[in-house]
Amino acid sequence: MKKSIRIGSGAGFSGDRIEPALILTEKGNLDYLVLECLAERTIALAQKQKQINPSLGYDPLLERRIEGLLPLLVKHRTRLVTNMGAANPLAAGNKIIEIAKKQGLKVKVAVVHGDDVLSLLDPEENCLETGLPLQSHGKIVSANAYLGIDTLLPALQSEADIILTGRVADPSLFLAPMVHEFSWNSNNPVLMGKGTVIGHLLECAGQITGGYFADPVSKPVDGLENLGFPFADILDNGTATISKVPGTGGKVSVQTAKEQLLYEVIDPSKYITPDVVADFREVKIDQIENDTIQISGGSGKPKPEKLKVSVGYEAGFVGEGEISYAGAHALERAKLAGVIIEKRIGHLYPEFRIDYIGLNSLHGTDFGNSPIPYEIRLRVSGKSKDQKTAALIGEEVEALYTNGPAGGGGARKSVRELLGVVSVLMDRNKVKTTFEILES
């Protein structure tokens, strides 16, 4: 049994950069590489894709990521754990096998099934967020349970080089290799808590190495253009050091780790995953070398009895239009443009919004401390069940060129389908998971 393993984090979201994962795999001497590529809404989007083309519905960057990574993973005997299967893990697995064959590489892929619980869903059930029945929100397109390590462990016990899943709780992707390699008792909540802390710190990749952190005035970070992604050396007692490949940009510090520890945590004493209710309150972070920190002190209580299920639904369409004004009376002209649009079409939308970018579009106020800016950008947005009505917003904003105030420039318009996400809880024993092995 191993005393220590090294896990790298090569993606923090579906659209993440690919190059840092290549550098990490080539130079990081990893036992495992984890690619976390599913945001809340990603599976619902992928499910829509799958409806249009049954061989799609997995991560749109899967092909590019795997083409670059596969030779490196094989060369360095690094196992890959990833949720890039999204709404269609089997099709994703087949695509990986196809790439491996093209590259002349022998790989085994374990495809994990069971997170798709759409057929088990009761559409009359009330959702957690609004308390209203699920189906009252819109046509339901997807329902995926957040799976935990108990689903991943059998796949890790197989000889698979790649473990490919749909929805799995992000920290579980990291905790599973720890439990597998150290033979941890998954009913030991303290160890599960420690491992979950490490997984949570790693799951957003560059967010612990200086990304989403840097501020040139108060928190300077060098070399962001070459931001390195993190890896952890985890010991079998649940402590770890986190670092990055020497020569890459960014930084790993107590400060970067503190920000990431609390990221998206509702209650730091009760961070709920399928594996544990983790407690972050006594986590210790120490700088032991430049760009290397030590993590200890995580804890936890036994895992919850129910799994969270994310339910995606069709929420209509959003139309947007933007146009800019600069110089004398820029804000007055932008406001006149806003009034014109509102009078022309505002009544068509149940939700309609006008923002002045550069003034108060992000925080809703300037907290009384900004002068009127030299240039201002009007943004109009609205929601409609009907795509054409949504598109009208951009069309009307564009028409301000010749039908609105003086000097409007740089108009842009867009319309996109909106997929909403709500959630319910589901009994664990209702969710049956399996895996199958594909070989090149």
Partner 1 sequence: MIKLSKIAHSRAGDKGNILMLSLIPFEEKDYEWLLREVTAEKVKAHLSHLIKGEVIRYEIPGIHALQFTCYQALGPGVTTSLALDAHGKSLSYALLEMEIE
Instruction: State which of residues 60, 71, 154, 297 lies at the interface with partner 1 (CB under 8 A).
Output: 297
- Residues numbered 102 to 161 that lie near partner 1 (CB under 8 A) are 129
Instruction: State which of residues 2, 15, 19, 40 lies at the interface with partner 1 (CB under 8 A).
Output: 40
- Residue 209 makes CB contacts below 8 A (sequence gap 6+) with 227, 228, 229, 230, 244, 248, 250, 251, 252, 256
* Cβ-based nearer residue to partner 1, 135 or 361: 361
The two tokens of residue 86 are 């999204």
- Nearest distance in Å: CB 44, partner 1: 8
Contact window for partner 1 (CB under 8 A) among 111-119, 233-241, 334-342, 355-363: 355-363
Alpha carbon distance 414, 320 (integer Å): 5
Instruction: State which of residues 63, 212, 239, 399 lies at the interface with partner 1 (CB under 8 A).
Output: 212
* Cβ-based nearer residue to partner 1, 68 or 297: 297
Alpha carbon distance 192, 190 (integer Å): 5
- Residue 83 makes CB contacts below 8 A (sequence gap 6+) with 35, 36, 37, 38, 165, 166, 167, 168, 173
- Residues numbered 9 to 28 that lie near partner 1 (CB under 8 A) are none
Size of the site for partner 1 (CB under 8 A): 53
Closest CA to 142 of 46, 4, 78: 46
- Within 10 Å of residue 288's Cβ, how many Cβ atoms? 9
- Nearest distance in Å: CB 206, partner 1: 13
Backbone angles phi, psi at 184, to 5 degrees: -65, 145
- As a three-state string, the secondary structure of 222-288 is CCHHHECCEEEEEECCCCEEEEECCCCECCCCHHHHHHHHCCCCCCCCCEECCCCEEECCCCEEEEE
- Nearest distance in Å: CB 165, partner 1: 21
- Nearest distance in Å: CB 322, partner 1: 10
- Residues numbered 243 to 262 that lie near partner 1 (CB under 8 A) are 254-255, 258-262
Establish if 41 lies at the interface with partner 1 (CB under 8 A).
Answer: yes
Instruction: State which of residues 266, 288, 343, 347 lies at the interface with partner 1 (CB under 8 A).
Output: 266
Contact window for partner 1 (CB under 8 A) among 5-13, 49-57, 155-163, 417-425: 417-425
Say how many Å lie between the first and final Cα of the chain, rounded. 29
The two tokens of residue 20 are 């840092």
Closest CA to 392 of 335, 362, 352: 352
Establish if 171 lies at the interface with partner 1 (CB under 8 A).
Answer: no
* Cβ-based nearer residue to partner 1, 127 or 179: 127
Closest CA to 137 of 388, 330, 424, 396: 424
Site string for partner 1, 369-398 (x = CB under 8 A): x---------x-xxx---------------
Binding footprint of partner 1 on the chain (CB under 8 A): 40-41, 129, 212-213, 215, 218-219, 254-255, 258-269, 280-285, 297, 315, 318, 351-353, 355, 357, 361-365, 367, 369, 379, 381-383, 418-423
